[in-house]
Amino acid sequence: MRAVGTSAYLKNQFCNWFIVELVVSDNADTLVQQFLEEIGGEVVYSIAELFKIKVPGQSSIYQNVLGFVERQPRDQLKTWSIKKGTLEDVFTHISDAYSAN
């Protein structure tokens, strides 16, 4: 297994998704469900009030996520972030693809 390039190249080549982190209030699980229905993606990690959601890397994703979070009540959505996959995500993606073959 081998992939060569700068970190930016590897992320662009192998991470065609973004990670959205939502920190919600205790009773706001429906907010996460609404997010998944409206934006798409899958929850890859959750603990307590933090949800990490892997979303498709389409060009309108920032606009779609921003529109969603702006419509949410502040008492349900505490904070949020969106970021490109990390080098760890690249490694996981490549190793998953390698082990599937």
Residues 33-44 pLDDT 10s = 999 999 999 998
> Residue 22 belongs to a domain with what CATH number?
3.30.70.1150
Q: Does pLDDT of 86 surpass 80?
A: yes
**Does a structural domain hold residue 54?**
yes
If you average pLDDT over each of 1-5, 24-28, 46-50, 97-101, which comes out highest?
46-50
Name the percent of the chain in helix, strand, coil, to the closest 5.
Answer: 45, 30, 30
**Does a structural domain hold residue 1?**
no
Higher pLDDT, 28 or 66: 66
Domain range holding 77? 7-100
Domain tally for the chain? 1
